[in-house]
Chains A and B, each alone.
Chain A
Amino acid sequence: MYERGDVARGFTEAYVVLEENYRTECEIHTPMEPHGCVAKWDGDRLTIWESTQGVYRIQQNVANVLNLPLSKVRVIGHYMGGGFGSKLQAGKYTIIAALLAKITGRPVKMILSREETYLTVGNRPPSNMTLKAGVKKDGTLTALDFTCTGTGGAYPAGGTSLVDWEVRDLYKCPNVRTACADVYINAGPARPFRAPGHPEGSWALEQMLDALAEAIDMDPVDLRLKNISLVSQARDGQPPYTSSGFKDCLAEGARAFGWKQARQQIAAAGKQGIIRRGVGMAGGHWIAGGGRPPSTIILKLFADGSVNLNMGASDIGTGTKTVMSLVVAEELGVKPETIQIEHADTGSTQYATPSGGSKTVPTESPAVRAAAISLKQQLLEIAAQDLKVDPSTLYFSAGSIVSRNDPSKKINFTDLSGLKKRGVVVGIGYGGPNPANRVTNPFAAQFCEVEVNTATGEVRVIRFLGAHDSGRVMSRLTYDNQVFGGITMGIGLATTEARILDKNHTGKMVNRNWHDYKLPTALDVPEDIVSLPIEPDDTEANTTGAKGLGEPVTIPTAAAVANAVYHATGVRITQTPIHPVRLCRLLAERRKEG
């Protein structure tokens, strides 16, 4: 239960009050690689190779259960085929494999079948939501009243956790009340799933804003621009954001998409013919994505000038390693290809929290920079001795160190005596504390165009644009890849995916394979997706200016599709997924009503 202001009074101040029920279906993570591990003992030392988002989390889970010292449990997870939040912890299979390996004295491999992963390793739980909202004639929000019933399955597993966050925090509104309740059901447990709670809440909030905009005859983008908040309203003390590119996401995104023109064209075409076009948009932000300690990074410069970056964090396929090597390259002035990375191994790399919450880049990259700076300082001191000058007069220039006072005093990294003697210079970096009384969140606005066959209920998503403020773009390739992937996943929530339980007989999941559980295919995703980075200069958040990206990219997607389908057809689909099974019936009912 959350409340601020006076919700009842807020509604009396409104020009229009709307209320609607919404539902999102349960989604399964469905990473390409199923969950599993190999366990092997050498005497009293256990090594586990696990498909995981965080090796230190697994180490801790396994050591706890098996009552082993942390030092005796080595977990390695160099590569993994996707997790989306479902691989943040050890599985029962991890423990079982370890025990079987102990008993048999042989390595044991346990990989779950697809059916098993559908049952036991998490899901994005279903949400049943009601939202009542009030708005003034000029677009000012006066009150939001939100309730949600959801389920984490058979265990307390965060069923409705964070579903209300967008309602509480995204748009400026003085009077807000939310209440969420979980019920237990005989089904698999929930686990964090890419932006837990947010796409669900967004499905309700962003469709409601669309409806409010129509009711007061205002452009949906303008309504959102009217209600931007520069402080995090739902947090104690309402701290300001270190940066907010939300306004630019909305305005620049609308411009780049051709929002106004598209709406004019569609209005001019009129509601004729069987195939109808529509455009829709939605905004969003992500509760985390600011990064946080702890993180420890070790950077080694070898005698030949090549660099080894040692970090405990996992690269879950998002390009973490690419980004980190770019930070090293930027700070040390070396080529990225001279950097070798050791990572995700509790036996040989440093403690790191799991890669989740879109916090890996903002957490690790400042620590990487700190390690590089520490390394540089040591090199400067060695150079000062070698060149017999004061270290404060030296600077770095493309693999060498030069005196500012006398350019002839110059030495290459590889000629540094201290480096030659020791064979290595080691820089250590730690993740520092986050700025006090500030919040670092990424922001997003997405726009799309759809084509609906009003006779059959078939929906084709024609194009998408994602305008994202995730701070500095660390690598355009990996950045865009997250945007495309997040939109793809959001299209899955919007149009194809749903866990279906045999509710009248057995409670078993009936669509537990890849063709009955419908992930979007390449044909369900538009060829035309534009990624538009919005880069506010965030010097407060951390030393790299990066904010989280992996989760905000999937938050507004489904709601944007629903708004576009409404725009095309006049039918508001409040329940996912929007496919002919649902849409065809609604369209037919509408025709009957005339």
Chain B
Amino acid sequence: MVPSFSYIQARSLDEAIRYLALDGARAHAGGTDLLGCLRDRVFDVATVVSIAGLKELRGIGATPAGGLRIGSLTTIAEVARNPVIRSKYGALSMAASEVASPQLRHQGTIGGNLCQKPRCWYYRGEFHCLRKGGDQCYAVDGENPYHCIFGGDNCFIVHPSDTAPALVALQASVTIAGPNGRRTVAVENFHIPPSEDYTSETVLEPAEIVTEIVLPPPAEGLRSSYRKVRARRAWDFALAGVALAIVFTGDQATDCRVVLSGAAPVPWRSAEAEKVIKGSRLDRDRAAKAAEAAVKNAEPMEQNEYKIPLFRGLIEQQLMAIA
């Protein structure tokens, strides 16, 4: 059962920030993740502050620099079908349309998608695990087929977001508003690995709100894509996913980002794969080498070794598709 809490509809960003500074306050955007967490008693909450009414956090528009600004309350469905995003930032459009189910895409927001809580079933279940303030990780020698193969350290979640790896690949940043004003953080640095702090997933301080996501203007020759493999064909998180953003000059890949989902506690940039691709003509052999490099340093757990051939096959396929 959902515990009782007080509920506030913020009328302005400042008001939202003020209420969020209260002890045990949580922001509520679309509520698709928050309500599940409350029902499963993942954390306690005293006050739910709805930011859903803040019009300035909605909508998609051009930036003066020629990039794109996406308000954090923009729904995932809007992101998926936006024609500018579809033509210029293909990876984000593809990632958004792979999220969850049509209902969830219409209710869930892009800001919420970046801030969502992990899906580790111990964390969501009645287990007082490390990330919830307990003293052990149940996944490390438990049921871990869906856990990470990179960056585990002491907690072995995979970051659940599909849009985050696409945004990292596209070099997006988030604007954050809080009691001390505004700051900008690259999406690449927005999520925190457990080695740094296993109790929080993002760099957000108490009472901070993501107001928008900013995409830089697409480089000349940029091609991007996102693909996700899951256990069933809809309404499911990634077993393995890959966002690619590659700048081609002629048939040369002059710049590239390879970012994995379903791989690590944060969207996982594969420097190893990028190194193989950068400066090359992306032929079958290169693609295979890059895919091999991507999984070379993986540290699989007892039940998720399959992710190594899976990522290898997936990355190779996607590189061939984009070249």
Point out residues on A near B: beta carbons under 8 Å.
274, 453-458, 460, 495-496, 500-506, 508, 510-513, 515-516, 518, 520-524, 577, 579-582, 584-585, 587-588
Contacts and interface: CB of A to CB of B under 8 A. Distances in A.
B229 A510 contact: no
Nearest to B307: A584
A469 B120 CA distance: 45
A147 B246 CA distance: 55
Contact of B306 (A515, A523, A524, A580): A580
Contacts of A506: 127
Of B143, B240, B308, the most chain A CB neighbours within 10 A belong to B143
Given A458-B229, A506-B127, A508-B125, A581 B309 contact: no
Contact of A518 (B127, B236, B306, B316): B236
B185 interface: no
A504 B239 contact: no
B235 interface: yes
A587 B309 contact: yes
B316 A579 contact: no
Given A518-B232, A521-B235, A581-B145, A508 B126 contact: yes
B306 A456 contact: no
Contact of A502 (B138, B229, B314, B316): B138
Interface string B78-101: 000000000000000000000001
A516 B306 contact: no
B231 A579 contact: yes
A453 B240 CA distance: 14
Interface residues of B, number: 31
B24 interface: no
A456 B125 contact: no
Contact of A455 (B143, B305, B314): B314
B3 to A, nearest CB: 15
Contact of B125 (A512, A521, A582): A512
A41 B90 CA distance: 63
A580 B239 contact: yes
Nearest to B231: A579
Interface of B: 101, 121-122, 124-127, 138, 141-143, 145, 229-236, 239-240, 305-306, 308-310, 313-314, 316-317
Given A274-B317, A502-B138, A510-B143, A580 B233 contact: no
Given A508-B125, A518-B236, A587-B309, A502 B143 contact: yes
Nearest to B104: A515
19 contacts: A274-B317, A455-B316, A455-B317, A501-B143, A502-B122, A504-B141, A504-B142, A511-B121, A512-B125, A516-B121, A521-B101, A521-B234, A524-B234, A577-B231, A580-B310, A581-B145, A582-B306, A584-B313, A588-B306
Contacts, number: 93
A350 B138 CA distance: 53
Given A512-B125, A580-B239, A588-B309, 9 more contacts: A454-B313, A455-B317, A456-B240, A456-B313, A510-B122, A515-B235, A524-B232, A582-B306, A585-B306
Contacts of A581: 145, 231, 239, 306
Given A515-B235, A585-B306, A456 B314 contact: yes
Contacts of A515: 235-236
Contacts of A518: 231-232, 236
Given A274-B317, A580-B239, A457 B310 contact: yes
Contacts of A496: 231-232
B233 A523 contact: yes
Nearest to B309: A588
A504 B127 CA distance: 13
B305 A585 contact: yes
B143 A500 contact: yes
Nearest to B100: A515
Nearest to B320: A274
Contacts of A457: 229, 306, 310
Question: Which 5 pairs, one residue from A and one from B, show the smallest C-beta to C-beta distance?
Answer: A455-B313, A588-B309, A523-B233, A585-B306, A510-B121
A503 B314 contact: no
Nearest to B101: A521
Contacts of A513: 124
Contacts of A454: 313
A592 B122 CA distance: 34
Contacts of B145: 581
A520 B306 contact: no
Contact of A505 (B124, B142, B234, B239): B142
Contacts of B231: 496, 518, 577, 579-581
Looking at B127, B145, B236, B309, the one whose CB has the most chain A CB atoms below 10 A away is B309
Given A502-B142, A506-B127, A456 B233 contact: no
A521 to B, nearest CB: 4
Contacts of A500: 143
Nearest to B229: A456
Contacts of B313: 274, 453-456, 584
A588 B305 CA distance: 11
Most buried by A among B124, B126, B308, B310: B310
B204 to A, nearest CB: 25
Contacts of B316: 455
B290 to A, nearest CB: 14
A590 B141 CA distance: 27
Contacts of B124: 513
Contact of A456 (B138, B232, B305, B317): B317
A582 B310 CA distance: 10
A512 B309 CA distance: 28
A461 B58 CA distance: 40
Contacts of A585: 305-306, 309
B143 A584 contact: no
A30 to B, nearest CB: 14
Q: Which of B233, B234, B305, B314 has the most CB of A within 10 A?
A: B233
Contacts of B240: 456, 580
- Among A495, A511, A515, chain B packs the most CB atoms within 10 A around the CB of A515
Contacts of A274: 313, 317
A581 B121 CA distance: 17
Contacts of A453: 313
B314 to A, nearest CB: 5
Contacts of A508: 125-127
Nearest to B138: A505
Contact of B229 (A521, A523, A580, A587): A580
